[in-house]
Amino acid sequence: MKWSLKARLSFGLAASLVLLLVLQWAVAGLAIERLTSGQLLARLERDAESLLSGVQAGPDGAPQIDPARVSAVYQRPFSGHYYVVRSGEQSIVSRSLWDAGLAVPALAAGAAADFHTTGPQRQPLLVHARTYRKLGRDVTIAVAEDLSELNAGLMRFQLAYGAVSAAVLVVLLVVQRTIVNRGLRPVEAVRENMARLERGETARIDAAGPAEIAPLIAELNRLLGSMGNRSRRSREALGNLAHALKTRLAVLRQAADAPELAAHAALRETLQESTEDMRRIVERELKRARLSGGALPGQRVDLGGEAEALVGTLKAIYADKPLHIDWHVAPGTQFKGDREDLLEMLGNLLDNACKWSASRVSLQASVHDGVRVLIEDDGPGCSPDALAVLARRGFRADESKPGSGLGLAIVRDIVDGYGGTLQFGRSPALGGLRVEVRLPDPALARPDSSTA
């Protein structure tokens, strides 16, 4: 799947914003959690030192804690604040633990440990434990605090921060969408101009475009102008050449018909034949050179309108013949090429069909894997051997009919120029010649409907 430039920019910026805000949310949550945990551990360490200061030797020499040094929160059962004082095999636990205990690892003198464990009511606890040297013995003090309320507060903070981040993300997405749309507006204008150029509504790209593609637009306009000027100059030169050559040929023909050559019949016949051959060669080469072989951008011709005009002209030309021409071209079908090429192709094929037909000619144009033009007549048709060379330049199936034999060859030149195919056969419906022309897209645009 090919993404547009706007889609790529929008997706890239949106993904970057989402990743940035998610990362920020995660880092902020982790930082808050580390900060609160550090503050909690500092408080637990102070409580442990306070308990240490309250440790004293009892009457039997065993360590005990001065109740005045113990906070009331450690006296309330299951308050969420607990301690354990251990010296050798003796342990002193807080009233808040009730009948439960805390698993405290053995630590060397001066060693400390911070860890998480489960409390008497299955609540999460953060524990700070340290082994001190007092009264000539090792005393391990472990102080714990319930994390349930802290975790709930952190969760509320993360949810609130996540909601704010989501709202900010929506605002940023709207802002970046607006920025992308405004930034690509010149490119969109260029795209619209390209579409107008393709539809034939303009001959150049009028949009200036951003600085990155302005040189490309200028180069395209230069090429379009150069192609148009070259085509115009070529046709003007061909017209001038045709006029000059035809004038000289007319002089030669008049010279061949001069009375002075009446006594030289062989010379007159040679001059006349050579003059006629030269005229045919000039006509052939001029028509061949005139073929565009492809359209300049934007050139389109209404196939139905041109076919209707050709049919009307041919009916007038063959008015002395009982001729009926059936034609069907889907409305809206456009020839994406040079109008002269279209008239040359259809005109030669239809004229050939009308010339050889008995009374019926059929023209059908449809879109099927490209464009398909089918012309049939009810004339005598051609033999299989003649069909193979029918489009050969100058070949004529019947010398009794007028013509130079260049029409079908020129049609082949046009079809080849547009990358199409030309096929001859016998018409199964009318019995005469069947000519099929296939032009691949984009030679013709697909019609909007198939009715005629």
User: Directed axis angle between helix 303-317 and helix 339-356, to 10°?
Assistant: 40
C-alpha span between 145 and 160 (Å, rounded): 25
Together in a domain, 143 and 40: yes
> Do 281 and 309 belong to one domain?
no
Do 270 and 306 sit in the same domain of this protein? no
Residue 188, domain member (yes or no): no
Say yes or no: 337 and 284 in one domain: no
Q: Residue 253 is part of which domain span?
A: 214-290
In a domain, 157, yes or no: no
Gap between the Cα atoms of 318 and 324, Å rounded: 10
Percentage above 90 pLDDT, the chain: 13
**90 strand-pairing partners:** 87
SS3 content of the chain, % helix, strand, coil (to 5): 50, 20, 30
Q: State the average pLDDT for the chain.
A: 80
| The two structure tokens encoding residue 169 | 């993300």
Residue 214 phi, psi dihedral angles, 5° rounding:
-60, -40
| pLDDT score of 375 | 93
Q: Residue-wise pLDDT tens for the chain (452 aa)?
A: 577 777 888 888 889 989 999 999 889 888 988 898 899 999 999 988 888 888 887 777 677 888 877 888 888 888 889 999 888 778 888 888 888 878 888 888 889 999 999 888 889 999 999 999 888 888 899 999 999 988 898 899 889 988 998 999 999 999 988 888 888 777 777 778 777 776 666 777 776 667 777 787 788 878 877 777 777 777 667 767 766 777 777 777 788 787 877 777 888 788 888 887 777 777 766 665 555 444 455 567 777 888 888 888 888 888 888 899 999 987 767 777 777 788 888 888 999 899 889 999 999 887 776 678 899 999 888 887 777 777 554 444 444 444 445 677 778 888 887 788 888 888 888 989 999 998 876 544 444 433 33
Q: Is residue 162 part of a domain?
A: no
Say yes or no: 132 and 230 in one domain. Answer: no
Q: Which residue, of 256, 271, 290, is where some domain finishes? A: 290
Question: What CATH number does residue 61 fall under?
Answer: 3.30.450
Assess whether 359 and 247 both reside in one domain. Answer: no
Instruction: Identify whether residues 262 and 322 lie together within a single domain.
Output: no
pLDDT attached to residue 130: 92
pLDDT of amino acid 11: 86
- Shared domain check, 328 and 363: yes
| pLDDT at 287 (0 to 100) | 63
Helix (H) or strand (E) holding 321: none
Same domain, 313 and 255: no
> What's the rounded Cα separation, in Å, for the pair 195 and 217?
14
Domains in the chain, number: 3
Q: Is residue 369 part of a domain?
A: yes
Is the domain of 56 the same as that of 106?
Answer: yes
Whole-number pLDDT of residue 381 = 84
184 found inside a domain: no
What's the token pair of residue 362? 């059929």
Residue 243 has a pLDDT of: 67
Upper half-sphere CA count for residue 414 (Cβ side, 13 Å): 27
- Alpha carbons 53 and 71: distance in angstroms, whole number: 13
CATH of the domain at 424: 3.30.565.10
Please, are residues 80 and 123 in contact by the beta-carbon 8 Å criterion?
Answer: yes
Kindly state whether residues 88 and 109 are assigned to the same domain. yes
Same domain, 270 and 311: no
Distances (CA, A) of 247 to 162, 241, 250, 282, 364: 90, 10, 5, 12, 40
